[in-house]
Structure 1
């Protein structure tokens, strides 16, 4: 079966499967809140945030294709991706501090402006301009996933004094619609870039009105708020480093996150050059990835309602991802490529991601001290991005066809190491669970 037909078949099957799974496993819906003030406030946040999300997702399916369309070689494109990753991690380390000091509303508006400029740079074929655009894109991404949520939490708790339990209602709704918008963005991008033949730059231009609308709503209807955290960036990082050094569990969580998520960063770059030579509908491919993530998350949410063995879910996710990359080592062999096998393996990888991220988020919430989470996460991001950037630069420094296969070999090694750390973490937390039932030394041992 040709790749194009297989992609459409997978999309239809996965969409139907997710719809069925959602109906069967959704269980009872959370109790609705009938407070009209809360509903009005929540909608005001959703409209601006969802417009920003849609603009972000529209840019994902055709980024590599755009650079390739402009005639850049794979090593040059790798540098562009690295610039985006690097700017995200560098600026992301300061985002919380900037939001607290200068205001969350201002940073949300800044996000809309900076991201719009980044989209406009995609019209240029100048390599320098495109690098500048990627740097702006990395900065924008760090703002999107920090400033909006920080603004909402402050308004919810401090300004309106709504119950903290209602935060879950907002974030669970936002998470669901985030997936819906991601799938929709892939379809819309495919229509504009493929069906209407407007080219791979069209989704980036289409994103600009969404950003303008989001920024306008924030400017007109949101109030400004600031944080009360007065700690300097250096103090935040030093406190985070001390916490990491004092806990083996935190070290293992950091190792698992850095190893697993660096593979995800590499995958963001590598999936297009693997599939694009066979002319699949890239937007629909992206949508199938997003459906797989939602399926994985739904499965995790259902099973976790019966058990809190999050470390087991993380390890299962790592095993699934490792299986995917090992399959890709064989399916991307130069001269003997099997794109449909690679695509199926990619779907398995995305399914693993859907289970991994909520499970890892739960582990972090239980193990990382809340007061020092920002500092600890800043340190976690450093090896994560270093691994991804070094991998892309080294293995794609030579535009040979074997670079992709070597990349999957390296990814398999990284995931094998992540699994080793996951097994160590599971054994450590199992010992803690056993010790906490003993009358002596129970409180002297940390437990999950």
Structure 2
């Protein structure tokens, strides 16, 4: 089996490198790089955001093993995971209004502080201390995936007035390098825990100085920006929700986002037990790296596709939902309790790789559509409201898998197929409303994207 996995990883890396080289020569990328102010601004964002993402990825590989080392059983560990998702759903709705009112820069600094405390709680084997850490982690995750993007879009559009089409390029790069960071973080986490003998707590301790560096870079390089800084906090919270409920396009976009990302998070919990049926000797670390390389491939494909001018972010979002549905259907067919032919693992693995390519295409596409549809005054608040159904669906899937999981995994995969179909219908309705409103998703080749002297 290693004779299949390792060559597959090498092939995927070659494909990712070739595609990334091609994206560097697109008209969109060449135009953006010709503007030194934009390049400097983009770098200021990347250096901070990548540090934050790297600190987040460092903690992923050893969370489960750390809890197991402390003597917790799988059911208790699942409860700790659920606490994190529930905290993100509950408290995450408040982080958006706080960012819009008090400043996105301040909330990003708060992320660094809370996530550092979350890492420190991993030094304790006490359940309640670990649960407290999961709550802080849930809040931090909500900030990471809302306030950083909100800060960037405000600066890009409101402060510098760069062409909006360049946002696609930034998000595509973010997704590509996010995959690379995940691979590097996995290696660093393994080195800290195993090679340096710090154990499962090592990666969490390593994340703390990275978060401190992130905070220093924010203080040094970022200006403050805000959404709706007027009005009461409760009104700000409900203002974002009201905009979602009153504007059908925003509601549908958030619905599609919640569906796709819930399927993605459920997959994170299911891919290992699905493949373990075929063999417990599979190199899971290399398989995880294959997933990350596929995300990089997907982000490059997105940039190449939209740069042709024939397709838009709406088209790629449709393809992402179709690809994820196909992936989940393959998983539904091949997720079995026992399997005598161990080499058949390659079929569900290919399905998982398809999903990860879709993830790589999804993030820059959904980010650009949010930049067009979500109003600036409530941006962070609305983005956190989007995450509420995502966390509810994910928690529901985890609760369903409690106990004897062998006969339940296939039902969860089938539910994911249904979710993808529902998401596809919602996406088609979203596109129809945009056409009725006369909105055409920007295509770089149809826009004047070359910088001017102005």
1:301 aligns with 2:307: no
Correspondent of 1:9 among 7, 13, 23: 7
1:402 aligns with 2:441: no
What is the CA-CA distance between 1:217 and the residue it aligns to? 4.3
What is the CA-CA distance between 1:412 and the residue it aligns to? 1.8
Greater shift after overlay, 409-418 or 60-69? 60-69
In structure 2, distance between residues paired with 1:172 and 1:425: 22
In structure 1, distance between residues paired with 2:161 and 2:213: 30
Segments of 5+ residues of structure 1 without an aligned counterpart are: 436-448
Residue 65 to residue 32, structure 1, CA distance change in 2 (3 Å): farther
What is the CA-CA distance between 1:98 and the residue it aligns to? 2.4
1:288 aligns with 2:282: no
What is the CA-CA distance between 1:18 and the residue it aligns to? 0.6
SS across alignment from 1:123:
coil
Greater shift after overlay, 246-255 or 39-48? 39-48
Residue 197 to residue 148, structure 1, CA distance change in 2 (3 Å): same
What is the CA-CA distance between 1:108 and the residue it aligns to? 3.4
In structure 2, distance between residues paired with 1:203 and 1:49: 19
What is the CA-CA distance between 1:26 and the residue it aligns to? 3.5
Residue 432 to residue 100, structure 1, CA distance change in 2 (3 Å): closer
What is the CA-CA distance between 1:335 and the residue it aligns to? 1.6
- Counting only pairs closer than 5 Å after superposition, residues 169-184 of structure 1 correspond to structure 2 as 174-184=174-184
- Counting only pairs closer than 5 Å after superposition, residues 29-428 of structure 1 correspond to structure 2 as 29=30, 30-34=32-36, 46-149=46-149, 162-165=160-163, 168=167, 174-193=174-193, 199-218=199-218, 221=220, 225=224, 227=226, 229-275=229-275, 278-305=280-307, 306-336=309-339, 339-393=345-399, 395-427=400-432
In structure 2, distance between residues paired with 1:105 and 1:78: 33
CA contact (8 A) 2:294 2:356 kept: yes
Residue 87 to residue 344, structure 1, CA distance change in 2 (3 Å): same
Segments of 5+ residues of structure 2 without an aligned counterpart are: 441-454
What is the CA-CA distance between 1:347 and the residue it aligns to? 1.3
Greater shift after overlay, 130-139 or 87-96? 87-96
Residue 223 to residue 352, structure 1, CA distance change in 2 (3 Å): closer
CA contact (8 A) 1:391 1:407 kept: yes
Greater shift after overlay, 237-246 or 81-90? 237-246
In structure 2, distance between residues paired with 1:355 and 1:399: 35
Higher relative contact order (CA 8 A, sep 6+): 2
Once superposed, what is the RMSD of the aligned Cα atoms? 3.5
CA contact (8 A) 1:114 1:140 kept: yes
CA contact (8 A) 1:310 1:363 kept: yes
In structure 2, distance between residues paired with 1:342 and 1:123: 37
SS across alignment from 1:278:
coil
What is the CA-CA distance between 1:45 and the residue it aligns to? 5.3
Aligned length: 427
What is the CA-CA distance between 1:170 and the residue it aligns to? 6.5
CA contact (8 A) 1:154 1:225 kept: no
What is the CA-CA distance between 1:320 and the residue it aligns to? 1.0
| Normalised TM-score (structure 2) | 0.80
What is the CA-CA distance between 1:154 and the residue it aligns to? 6.7
In structure 1, distance between residues paired with 2:432 and 2:151: 39
In structure 2, distance between residues paired with 1:163 and 1:73: 53
What is the CA-CA distance between 1:298 and the residue it aligns to? 1.4
CA contact (8 A) 1:109 1:215 kept: yes
In structure 2, distance between residues paired with 1:293 and 1:45: 21
In structure 1, distance between residues paired with 2:240 and 2:75: 35
CA contact (8 A) 1:313 1:356 kept: yes
In structure 1, distance between residues paired with 2:65 and 2:275: 11
